[in-house]
């Protein structure tokens, strides 16, 4: 295996989301794969993903890249993906020709996150709720610009996990109480349907806020109205809730966390995730570490007659926002070196 490793050039690893792109170079020449360069890009500042990739490669001195793995936020069909919340289409074959990279693999961004879980250190994960931490399957739900879910097929040894991509974030939102029924109707009138992503995402949190404003006839107040007008409204809602300065923002985050807990519990049941549920993305972890976690836990467990099963499932918050990038790097090393067991940790 060591001879094969020395023959490889750097592997390009990437996480292309709806809002930002993170890229890295992985050196495989040593005893352990090592990330030697990384850079974050705000997508709105660029015309295409090609422009971002070309900029990154140029910043590394035009490295002779052996292959690339890109985690992309969307469904992949025959090596092509249209980013769900961004009007970009990534074509692996065309991109390889344009960049001079022999092989480019596209994998779903949640699948990439699943590959990255085993690379995380203790400080990268916060235990939200202890459980029995049994062997078996796990699952991951990530709310950010959109909503993603993945099923992680595990074995009893935990030496090998297989993340399975889904588009479950686009499934229908199922309301559980009068407030959520009103929210569903609000989304149906505004968008033609109420999807999970229409609630459990950054735009989804804003939808909840706007629905509550309409429902309550609430006045924001001059200071909050100004912030909502000139800043990104989603971080404003979260901040105002955490600081206790706005009742409507607090109610919006409570509804969000309750719905997130309910869907995390649904995911645990659908996948028999005895190995744990992981909460990732930019929004869920930020809210769960700053807001009241009780509404999340209550909704997660409220699944009679399966509440006892769910009470034994640990729930973890992913604190490392580069887990998809790391997972794409791991996937690239595995594909190139055919490493199935004893994978050397990326440093």
Query: How many angstroms separate the Cα of 252 from the Cα of each of 216, 242, 246, 249?
Result: 12, 11, 10, 5
What is the model's pLDDT at position 346? Answer: 56
Query: How many angstroms from the chain centroid is the CA of residue 115?
Result: 12
In a domain, 146, yes or no: yes
Burial class of 177 by CB neighbour count within 10 A (0 to 12, 13 to 18, 19+): exposed
Residues 70 and 109 in one domain: yes
Instruction: Indicate whether 252 pLDDT > 60.
Output: yes
* Residues 131, 36 share a domain: no
Q: Taking the model in full, what pTM does it have?
A: 0.90
Claim to verify: residue 149 and residue 295 sit in the same structural domain: yes
CB distance 328 to 15 below 8 Å = yes
Give the least confident one: 11-15, 19-23, 30-34, 340-344. 340-344
Q: What does the angle CA 200 – CA 129 – CA 122 come to, to the nearest 5 degrees?
A: 95
More confident position, 318 or 341: 318
Shared domain for 57 and 183, answered yes or no, is: no
The residue among 7 and 134 whose pLDDT is bigger is 134
Q: How far apart are CA 13 and CA 105, in angstroms?
A: 10
pLDDT over 60 (residue 58): yes
Say what the pLDDT of residue 339 is. 45
Of the pLDDT bands very low, low, confident and very high (cuts 50, 70, 90), residue 96 is very high
174 contact partners, CB below 8 Å, separation of at least 6? none
Mind giving me the DSSP string for 263-322? HHHHHHHHHT-TT-EEEESSSHHHHHHHS-SHHHHHHHH--TTSHHHHHTS-EEEE--TT
Residue at 186 is within a domain? yes
| pLDDT for position 336 | 77
Q: Which residues contact 99 (CB under 8 A, 6 or more apart)?
A: 50, 53, 54, 57, 65, 68
The reply to whether 45 and 147 lie within a common domain is no
Same domain, 135 and 35: no
Confidence (pLDDT) at 160: 58
Most confident of 31-45, 75-89, 114-128, 182-196: 182-196
Q: Note the pLDDT of residue 159.
A: 52
Predicted confidence at residue 7, as pLDDT, reads 57
Domain check: are 226 and 140 in the same one?
yes
Q: In terms of pLDDT, which residue wins out, 292 or 302? A: 302
The whole domain housing 236 covers 121-319
CATH of the domain at 140: 3.40.367.20
- Over residues 29-50, the pLDDT tens digits come to 777 778 889 999 999 999 999 9
Q: Which residues are CB-contacts of 79 (< 8 A; sequence separation ≥ 6)?
A: 91, 92, 93, 106
Confidence grade of residue 285 (pLDDT, cut at 50, 70, 90) = very high
Residue 130 lies in a domain: yes
Residue 111 has pLDDT above 80, yes or no: yes
Report pLDDT for 156. Answer: 53
Q: Which CATH number do you get for residue 84?
A: 3.30.420.40
Q: How far apart are CA 330 and CA 347, in angstroms?
A: 11
| Residues 69, 163 within the same domain | no
Total domains present in the chain: 2
Residue-level pLDDT at 132: 80
The structure tokens listed for 298 are: 């209550």
SS3 content of the chain, % helix, strand, coil (to 5): 45, 20, 35
Work out the average pLDDT over 161-174.
92
With respect to residue 36, please indicate whether it lies within any of the assigned structural domains.
yes
- Predicted pLDDT at 6: 44
Q: Are residues 185 and 244 in the same domain?
A: yes
According to the model, what pLDDT value does residue 129 have?
92
| pLDDT higher than threshold 60 for residue 72 | yes
Helix axes 202-216, 233-242, angle to 10 degrees: 70
| 345 found inside a domain | no
Q: Are 232 and 310 in the same domain?
A: yes
In three-state form (DSSP H/G/I as H, E/B as E, the rest C), the secondary structure along 21-81 is EEEEEEECCCCCCEEEEEEEEEHHHCCCHHHHHHHHHHHCCCCCCCEEEEEECCCEECCEE
Residue 199 belongs to some domain of the structure: yes
How far out from the chain centre does Cα 138 lie?
Answer: 15
Same domain, 153 and 264: yes
Residue 189 token pair? 């009138």
Q: Is residue 279 part of a domain?
A: yes
Q: What percent of the chain shows pLDDT beyond 70? A: 92
Q: What is the mean pLDDT of the chain?
A: 89
Is 236 found in the same domain as 182? yes
Arithmetic mean of pLDDT, 170-190: 97
Mean pLDDT of 168-185: 97
Number of CB atoms found within 10 A of residue 266's CB: 20
Structural domain includes residue 347: no
């Amino acid at each position: 295996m060591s001879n094969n490793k020395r023959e490889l050039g750097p592997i390009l690893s990437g996480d292309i989301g709806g809002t930002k792109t993170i890229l890295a170079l992985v050196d495989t020449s040593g005893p352990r794969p090592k990330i030697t360069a990384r850079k974050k890009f705000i997508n709105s500042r660029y015309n295409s993903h090609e422009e971002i990739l070309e900029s990154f490669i140029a910043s590394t001195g035009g490295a002779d890249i052996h292959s690339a793995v890109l985690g992309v936020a969307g469904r992949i069909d025959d090596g092509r993906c249209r980013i769900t919340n961004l009007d970009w289409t990534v074509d692996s074959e065309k991109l390889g020709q344009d960049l001079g990279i022999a092989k480019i693999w596209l994998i779903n961004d949640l699948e990439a996150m699943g590959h990255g879980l085993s690379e995380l250190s203790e400080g990268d994960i916060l235990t939200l709720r202890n459980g029995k931490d049994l062997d078996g399957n796990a699952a991951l739900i990530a709310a950010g610009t959109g909503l993603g879910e993945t099923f992680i097929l595990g074995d009893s040894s935990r030496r090998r996990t297989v993340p399975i991509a889904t588009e479950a974030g686009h499934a229908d939102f199922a309301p559980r109480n009068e407030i959520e029924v009103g929210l569903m109707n609000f989304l149906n009138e505004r968008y033609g349907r109420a999807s999970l992503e229409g609630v459990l995402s950054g735009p989804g949190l804003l939808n909840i806020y706007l629905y509550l404003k309409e429902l309550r006839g609430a006045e924001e107040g001059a200071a909050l109205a100004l912030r909502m007008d000139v800043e990104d409204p989603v971080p404003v809602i979260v901040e105002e809730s955490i600081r206790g300065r706005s009742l409507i923002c607090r109610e919006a985050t409570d509804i969000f966390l309750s719905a997130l807990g309910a869907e995390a519990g649904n995911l645990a049941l659908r996948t028999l995730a005895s190995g744990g549920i992981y909460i990732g993305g930019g929004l869920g972890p930020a809210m769960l570490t700053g807001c009241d976690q009780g509404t999340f836990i209550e909704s997660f467990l409220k699944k009679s007659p399966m509440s006892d099963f769910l009470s034994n499932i640990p729930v973890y918050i992913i604190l490392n926002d580069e887990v998809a990038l790391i997972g794409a790097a791991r996937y690239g090393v595995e594909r190139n070196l055919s490493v199935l067991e004893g994978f050397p940790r990326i440093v």
